[in-house]
Amino acid sequence: MKGVLVSLRLGLAVLWAVLRRTWHRLIHGPAIASWSWAVELRMVALRAFLDAAREHPDPQARSRLEQRIDPPLPKRLRRVLRVRKTDLAGLRAEKHEAIATGLDPELPYVLLYLHGGGYLAGSAATHRRWVANLAWAIGAEAHVPNYRLAPEHQFPAALEDAMAAYKELLAEGVPPGRLFVGGDSAGGGLAAALLLRLRDENEPLPAGGLLFSPYADLEHTADSIRENRATDYIPSVEIHPNTIYLGDHDPRDPYASPIYGDFDRIPPLVVFAGGREMIRDDAVRLVDAATRAGCDTVLHLAPDMYHVWPALLPNHPETLRALSLSAQYVQRTAGA
Q: Are residues 51 and 78 in the same domain?
A: no
Catalytic member of 40, 94, 277, 318:
277
Q: Which of 32, 66, 100 is the last residue of a domain?
A: 66
How much is the pLDDT for 101?
Answer: 52
Residue 185 falls in the annotated catalytic set: yes
* Average pLDDT over all residues of the chain: 91
How much is the pLDDT for 56?
Answer: 60
Higher pLDDT, 185 or 53: 185
Amino acid at 55: E
Q: Are residues 246 and 304 in the same domain?
A: yes
Q: Are residues 20 and 110 in the same domain?
A: no
How much is the pTM? 0.94
How much is the pLDDT for 239?
Answer: 67
pLDDT for 179-230, tens place per residue? 999 999 999 999 999 999 999 999 999 999 999 999 999 999 999 999 999 9
Q: What is the mean pLDDT of residues 53-67?
A: 62
Q: Are residues 232 and 290 in the same domain?
A: yes
Alpha-carbon span 220 to 241, nearest angstrom: 6
For the chain, percent of residues with pLDDT exceeding 70:
90
pLDDT for 232-241, tens place per residue? 999 765 667 8
Q: Are residues 46 and 99 in the same domain?
A: no
Q: What is the mean pLDDT of residues 164-189?
A: 97
Assess contact for 112 and 82: CB atoms under 8 A: no
Q: Which residues span the domain enclosing 47? A: 2-66
Q: Are residues 169 and 30 in the same domain?
A: no
Alpha-carbon span 160 to 117, nearest angstrom: 17
Alpha-carbon span 220 to 256, nearest angstrom: 12
Number of domains within the chain: 2
Q: Are residues 84 and 203 in the same domain?
A: yes
pLDDT for 114-140, tens place per residue? 999 999 999 999 999 999 999 999 999
Q: How far is CA 47 from the centre of its chain?
A: 16
* CATH code where residue 224 lies: 3.40.50.1820
How much is the pLDDT for 216?
Answer: 98
Task: Please count the CA atoms within 13 angstroms of the CA of 303 that sit on its side-chain side.
Answer: 4
Q: Are residues 110 and 179 in the same domain?
A: yes
Q: What is the mean pLDDT of residues 231-250?
A: 86
Q: Are residues 168 and 197 in the same domain?
A: yes
Alpha-carbon span 273 to 248, nearest angstrom: 29
Q: Judge whether residue 251 has pLDDT over 70.
A: yes
Q: Are residues 168 and 293 in the same domain?
A: yes
pLDDT for 77-86, tens place per residue? 998 899 999 9
Q: Are residues 228 and 178 in the same domain?
A: yes
Q: Which of 50, 66, 82 is the last residue of a domain?
A: 66
Residue 326 falls in the annotated catalytic set: no
Catalytic member of 185, 213, 257, 326:
185
Catalytic member of 307, 316, 318, 326:
307
Q: Judge whether residue 67 has pLDDT over 90.
A: no
Least confident span in 60-69, 73-82, 108-117, 124-133? 60-69
Q: Are residues 46 and 189 in the same domain?
A: no
Residue 307 falls in the annotated catalytic set: yes
Q: What is the mean pLDDT of residues 58-76?
A: 72
Query: Of 89, 151, 87, which Cα lies nearest the Cα of 119?
Result: 151
